[in-house]
Structure formats: C-alpha cells, structure tokens
Structure 1
Amino acid sequence: MSEADFSSLRGAMVSNQLRTNKVTDPAVLAAMGSVARERFVGGSQGGVAYRDTIVPLGEGRGLNPPIATGRLLSRAQPRAGEKVLVVGSGTGYAVALLAEMGCVVTALEQSPALIAQAQVATVEGPLAAGWPAGAPYDLIFLDGAVEHVPDAIVDQLAEGGRLVGAIDERGVTRLVIGRRVAGGFGLDFFADVETATLPGFAPAPAFTF
C-alpha cells in the first residue's frame, strides 16, 4: 500500500471509528490522524492496522483497537510537558501518540522480542513493577487490560496524577481511570471496550486456612 493509501485509512479511522465513538478531543484526533499506525504492526500487517480490532504482535500480545486507545487518551487528557509512563508499550504506538501530544514519555516493556520491534526508545523490566527510576509520573497509561493494578504502580503516580487502562473482569475488558489524591486511589469504569491483555498482573492468591 502507498503512503496515500495509509493516509486515507488514517482519515477514515478518525472520522468513522473515533468521532462516532465519543473521541472528540482535538488533540487526540490530531495525534491519531498524524501518527502512522502501520509502522507499529510490522510490514506484513500494515493493511490491517486501521481495522477496529486487536492486531496481533506476537508473544501473545496485541495492538489495541483504535477506539480503545482513543477513548483512553481522551479520558486521560494528557498535557504537553507532563511525565508519562506507558506500561506494556509493545511496539510503541501509544508512546508515539503521547509524544506527538508533547508529553515526556517513558516506554516500559518486558518482552525482548517486542522491544526489538519497537519504533520508540524503550526500557525493559517487569510490567507489574512499573519504572520507579522515572517516578513520579503525572500520567500512567496501561496499554492493555490487567486483572488488577498493583500498589507498586499506583505508588509511582504524583499527587493528583492519573492512571488509565483496562481491567479484565472474567474476559470482559472495561476501560478505567483513576486519580491519586491525598494518598488514596480509586478506579472509575467508563466503557466496555475490547483491548489486548498485558501479562504478569494476576493478583496474589488469597490466603486461606
């Protein structure tokens, strides 16, 4: 496919997938309309990059559908200059979008194979541990669904900092936003949207007698 073909697909994604599904933030639409999503799925899959579905990346991982990424960015309301941690950055699409919006972004990934494919600079480590070396963050972006949000990640939020991502509830992925205020943290669910799953977030087994 040509650059013109991909540009047309990006335009259709913005008008047909995003604008019609509650993604109206001009900064989010501008970023998603300019960043070449096809770069982040591998050459052989460029033609499916703009479908409203998870695109497999290998290692059991996937690139989130555009609507999931757009809804999360819209609720996160990232601002230029903010420090952002992307957990489970994969090949780096969400990282590139946040950088396009002017954020200072740290990309965290634990899969060496995905890091090798990444189109952005990436640090390597267990996803559930976050990246404390760069904390505190104004925004933590979980680029996929997790079973729970570990305290280790919440602790890396600045006071007033936000976290967005998805929670996997028995196979249903629900988009969430949380904010750290006065030492407390809670999550609000705002949409049921299909997302890829991030590994390593199973909660510790409950102790029983």
Structure 2
Amino acid sequence: MIDFARVRRMMVDHQLRTYDITDLGILSAMNEVPREAFAPDEAKGLAYSDQSLPVAHTEDGGRWLLPAMIFGRLLQNLQVRAGERTLVVASALGYEAVVMQRLGARPTILESDAGVAERTRALLAEHGAGSVEVVVGPLDGGCPDAAPFDVIYVNGAVQVRPQALLECLAEEGRLGVIVGDGSRTSRASLFVRSGDTFGSRAVFDAAAPLLRPFREELGFVF
C-alpha cells in the first residue's frame, strides 16, 4: 500500500525544491493537499509522477493533473496573495483551487463540461473547499459575470491569445499559462494587465496538454 503522505513529502523535497520553488506557503500547501484524491482510482499511484495525468474526459480535450513542479512554479510566479480573487480555467477536478485556498486566496473555477463540474464540486466539498464556485461555460469565453480577478491560472497549453480571459483581469492582475503547442518547446508565460494593455514574458520552459478551445487555426500567428 502506498504511503501517500511520504510520497507527497518526497515530491516537495525532490521535485518542487529542486525546481526553484522556494515559496514556503506553496511548499506547505502542496504538501498538505492530497493530489491522489483528484486522480482516477486506477491511476492514484501516478499522481506524484513528473508527467501530466488525465483525470477527466471532455469534448474539448480532457482535464489533466499537470506535474507538480510545473503548477507550483507557475503559481509562484503568479505571486498569489491572501484575499485575492483567483480563477482556475480547466481545473484538474479542483486540485489547484484547493491549493490556492490554502494560500488564502478566494478561487473560482471555470469548467465547460457540466458533468466534470459536478465531480469537481463534490471533491471540493470533500476537501473543505465547498465555498469555491464552479462556473460552467466555454473556456475561451472567460468568466465576465464573476470578474474581475487578481489572478487567472490556465491549466493547460494555449496557442492563441486568451483575450477573453485577459479581459477578466483586474488592474495589475496576472494570468499564468503555458504558451505553445504543449510540447517541451512551449513556455510558461505571465501576462500582467495595465489599463487596456497586457504585458507578457516567458518565465520557464514547460510542457502541458493543449486545450482545444485555444488551438491555433491554420494561418493564425500568436
């Protein structure tokens, strides 16, 4: 039988700390939240591997539990502060929102699949995060009725500019997403709002499954 608490501690020490994740709040939260609880029964043993793990099927490409070091490092770059309103797009059944709530944030989840949304609500309640709102709607449509958000985290890769999500940011709000086709040539990137403009910079190389609503059409240039 797997000692998940021990494996989780090893994840913190050997994946997060060695990948330049030094924020003590993030390290503590990710050591407390059981990733295996958000994985399918047959794949719980892979919840702490350094690969993207499928956790739900959807028509727009599925939901994935991204490697802890990718999520943790992008979260660190987003500098989530207590009291901030955060949006998780295409969540891995609520895992990221639970971690953010442990940091003192007030998360909302945007999910396009109603069935996955119900599963997510159940898991959130099970892990003490039942107050997290799960909004059902197109991923690329943003969440304007609940905006603005201080932080938006996109749980997957995009090839096209997520303009509707950017428009949901508050002034000086930050959006973190992996830009590219999802391969190892993709880059985790940070967008910051200033008025009607959005500055961006790449922060590290990262691979993640591509979210179909943000797939590049023929002839499009990011």
Question: Does the pair score TM above 0.5?
Answer: yes
State the distance in 1 between where 2:44 and 2:218 align. 41
Q: 1:195 aligns with which of 180, 185, 208?
A: 208
1:45-124 counterparts in 2 under 5 A? 45-59=43-57, 60-118=62-120, 119-120=123-124, 121-124=133-136
Letter paired with 1:28: I
Counting only pairs closer than 5 Å after superposition, residues 1-209 of structure 1 correspond to structure 2 as 1=1, 5-59=3-57, 60-118=62-120, 119-120=123-124, 121-169=133-181, 171=183, 172-203=185-216
Counterpart CA distance in 2 for 1:22 and 1:7 is 22
For structure 1, the 5+ residue unaligned runs are none
**What's the TM-score, normalizing by structure 1?**
0.91
Count of equivalent residues: 205
| Contiguous gaps of at least 5 residues in structure 2 | 125-132
Q: Distance in 1 between matches of 2:186 and 2:112?
A: 22
Q: Name the SS for the 1:94 alignment partner.
A: helix
Q: After alignment, is 93-102 or 56-65 more displaced?
A: 56-65
Give 2:147's aligned amino acid: A
Question: Given that residues 90 and 109 in structure 1 are in contact (C-alpha distance below 8 angstroms), is that contact kept between their aligned partners in structure 2?
Answer: no
62 and 28 in structure 1: CA distance in 2 versus 1, 3 angstrom threshold = same
SS of structure 1 residue aligned to 2:214? coil
User: What amino acid is aligned across from residue 32 of structure 1 in structure 2?
Assistant: M
Deviation per residue, 1:49-89 (Å, 9 max, x gap)? 00111111242432101111011111011011000011111
Q: Match of 1:195, as an amino acid?
A: A
1:137 touches 1:156 (CA, 8 Å); kept in 2?
Answer: yes
With structure 2 as the length reference, what TM-score do the two structures score?
0.86
**How far apart in 1 are the matches of 2:161 and 2:92?**
18
| SS of residue matched to 2:213 | coil
State the identity as a percent: 37
Displacement of 1:205: 5.8
Given that 1:90 and 1:115 are in contact with CA atoms closer than 8 Å, whether structure 2 keeps it comes out as no
Report how far residue 148 of structure 1 moved. 2.1
Q: What's the RMSD between the two structures over aligned residues?
A: 1.8
